[in-house]
Structure 1
Amino acid sequence: MIKTKMEISQEEITVLREIMMANPKNVKKRRWARIICAVMAVIMCIYTVACFLDQAIGYSVIGLAFTIFFIWVTTVGATFYQETIYKKVQDKADDRLMSGVREYVFDSDGVTVSSEVGCGTHKWDAFQCWGVFKDYIYLKRIDNQMVLVKKSSLFKEDYEALMSLLNTYLTQEKL
């Protein structure tokens, strides 16, 4: 049985958002958005040049605006948009769920989570996978909620026992 406590701060909330952004499904969505927007930027650039050569200045300006927009989405916009959505979701969550002290107990039955709001045990079947991100170990539940544990808060023996438990019951996700 491994016990650990953790204070949820802004750093942990940021790490959770970064883990969601690094998820392979989200990376793939951003990649497709970038490809589509890059193609659209090229098309709009050709359209803008054609309108300029035809001396249709109004259409050239509109084409240029769309070209700039698609270039922006291709470079930073897709990531910015997805991260903004995750920030809004986190901001709408109740503060009691996004702060405070969490106590985790890992054993062969599953993970027991205790906080000021309540206490509950999640069987290992309630989790999809686990992974390591920066100085954190995370467990992703089947409803996409996460358990986050700071590696530095674990003793070496507890860390090794936790790795053994996780490898026994779950598969590791590579980010």
Structure 2
Amino acid sequence: MDIKLPHSDNEFARFYYSILPVGTIITSYLTWPEFSQSTGIAVSPWDPGNSAWSPADGRIVSGSKFESITRQENVPDYRGVFMRCQNQIDPQTASTVPPIQADPDNSRNRAVIQGDALGSHTHPASGRITGNITGSNGTHDCDGGGDKYNSDPTFPDRNVAVTVYPSGGAETRPKNASVFYYIKIN
């Protein structure tokens, strides 16, 4: 078999990307105009029936092979999310995913966004007052902090409510870098 090797960057990109199947998602450092230029795709006007790639931003791709194979008019919208592989890849082959890496929402369909979650955990806290604290400059260290207070030993011990205040950002996330997702549609 005689294979014609590409001679330019655009020819190489078209050759390389032509062997990837429809539905392939790639991560790129390049913006859509830069990616389009490097792959020889016309950005304006963009035609989903003739373009090989689309941003994975939920746009309509009517007339594409992607639509004909998946029966979905829109590509998935992966802006702002991480990828997570399904627990079961080949429905014809049974496989067991180790619990430490399994998706607990095992029945999700492809492209379904999984919302934020924080694993179940506790924040132990308690408090107890012993005796009646009446003022500073006393003789008893009531809280272990070194300050001396006067106390009345006849005052009953009691439990007190303790509030653990929230802290942190708007989401729980690993360290990450921002990139662009593109999906092969033809």
Q: TM-score range by the shorter chain?
A: under 0.3
More strand by share: 1
TM-score (norm 1): 0.21
Larger Rg belongs to:
2
TM-score (norm 2): 0.20
